[in-house]
Amino acid sequence: MKLVRFGEKGQEKPGLIDSTGKVRDLSSVIPDLAGEALSPASLTKIAAVDPTSLPLAPEGVRLGSCVARPGNFVAVGLNFADHAAETNNPIPDEPVLFNKAPNCVVGPDDDVMIPKGSLKLDWEVELAFVIGTRARYVEEKDALDHVAGYFICNDVSERHFQIERGGQWAKGKGSETFGPLGPWLVTKDEIPDTSDLAMWLEVNGEKVQNGSTKTMIFRIPFLVHYISQFMVLEPGDVITTGTPPGVGLGFKPPRFLKAGDVMRVGIAGLGVQQQTVVPFQL
C-alpha cells in the first residue's frame, strides 16, 4: 500500500493511493498515520478495505508528511561508504546517531526555509522508515517485524551550524522545514528488499546526487537492532538512514542552497518530492 496524509497544514487526513493514482480518504478507518495506526493489525485492517468504497480527496490536494509528527526522529550519519569518502571521514565502526527535531517534519512538496544566520544550507536524499511495533532490545533477525514502511526524507542540513558552531550535529539538522517526508509511506510488503534502491537529488534541474542504497554501511535490520539498545522505539518513530555522495559540502568548491533554488528528490519505488528554498520568515 501507498499511504499518505493530505490537506492543509495542521488539518491533514490519512489517505491511500488507489490503483489509478488517486488519493482516497482513510479518515473513517484510522484517525491519522501515527502511533498505533501503523501497527501490523491496523495495516491489515486498512489493506482489507476496498479503496473504491472510500471518498476521493479533492483533485490536486496538498500532501502533508506521510507520517504525523513523530515522537522520535533519529538520523544516521556517514552511513554510505562513498559519502563518508567525499567528506573525508573514515567509515564508522558503529552507526553515528543524532536527532532531528520532530517539529521540523513537513510535507514532501512544502517550502524549505533558510534559518536565521544560515551560511551553508545543504541537501541529502535519504531512505527513511517508520516503526510500527514497539522496539526494545530487538534482535537483528526480528528487526523488520518492527518496521511499518519506507519513504523519502530530504535531510536538509545547515553545515555551518552542524560543523562550525561546536557541540552536536543536531544544531544543523533540526531547523523549521528541515524534514520533508513522503510523498508516500510505502508498506514493506511492496519493497521486500531495500539493498539496492536508486536514489537521486536534483538542484535546479541538475542531478547532484545519483547513488544507491547498495553502498549503505549499516542496513535497516541492524539499525533497528542497534538503536533499540539505546532507546525504546515507539510506533510512529522515524529513522532516516544516511545519504549517498553528491551533497553540497562535497563539491570542490562546496555548493550551498540559496533562496529560489528547487530540489527534486527521488528513490526507486518511493516517489518524488520537490521543495523550493525560501528566505527566513517569522
pLDDT digits (tens, 9 = 90+) for 133-181: 999 999 999 999 999 999 999 999 999 999 999 888 999 999 999 999 9
Q: Which letter does DSSP use for residue 256 in this model?
A: -
d(CA 151, CA 184): 6
Residue range(s) defining the domain that contains residue 271: 65-278
Residue 73, domain CATH: 3.90.850.10
Whether 44 is in a domain gets the answer no
Asked whether 182 and 66 are in contact (CB, 8 A), the reply is yes
Per residue in 41-70, pLDDT tens? 999 999 999 999 999 999 999 999 999 999
Whether 119 is in a domain gets the answer yes
pLDDT in tens, the chain (282 residues): 999 999 999 999 999 999 999 999 999 999 999 999 999 999 999 999 999 999 999 999 999 999 999 999 999 999 998 888 888 888 899 999 999 999 999 999 999 999 999 999 999 999 999 999 999 999 999 999 999 999 999 999 999 999 999 888 999 999 999 999 999 999 999 999 999 999 999 999 999 999 999 999 999 999 999 999 999 999 999 999 999 999 999 999 999 999 999 999 999 999 999 999 999 998
Give me Rg for the CA atoms of the chain. Answer: 18
Whether 6 is in a domain gets the answer no
Euclidean distance between the first and the last CA atom of the chain, given in angstroms as a whole number: 38
| 154, HSE (Cβ side, Cα atoms, 13 Å) | 37
Whether 105 is in a domain gets the answer yes
Whether 9 is in a domain gets the answer no
Q: What total number of domains does the chain contain?
A: 1
Instruction: Report CA-CA distances (Å) from 272 to 96, 99, 181, 276.
Output: 27, 24, 10, 14
d(CA 120, CA 256): 5
d(CA 280, CA 44): 42
Residue 190's SS3 state is helix
Whether 138 is in a domain gets the answer yes
**What distance lies between CA 281 and its chain's CA centroid?**
24
Element (H, E) at 211: strand 206-212
- State the cell numbers at 32: 491519522
Asked whether 154 and 126 are in contact (CB, 8 A), the reply is yes
d(CA 95, CA 242): 10
Question: What is the per-residue burial (b if ≥16 Cβ within 10 Å, else e) of 128-154?
Answer: bbbbbbebeebeeeebeebbbbbbbbb
Whether 38 is in a domain gets the answer no
**38 Cβ contact partners less than 8 Å away, ≥ 6 residues apart:** 67, 130, 131, 132, 148, 149, 235, 236
Whether 161 is in a domain gets the answer yes
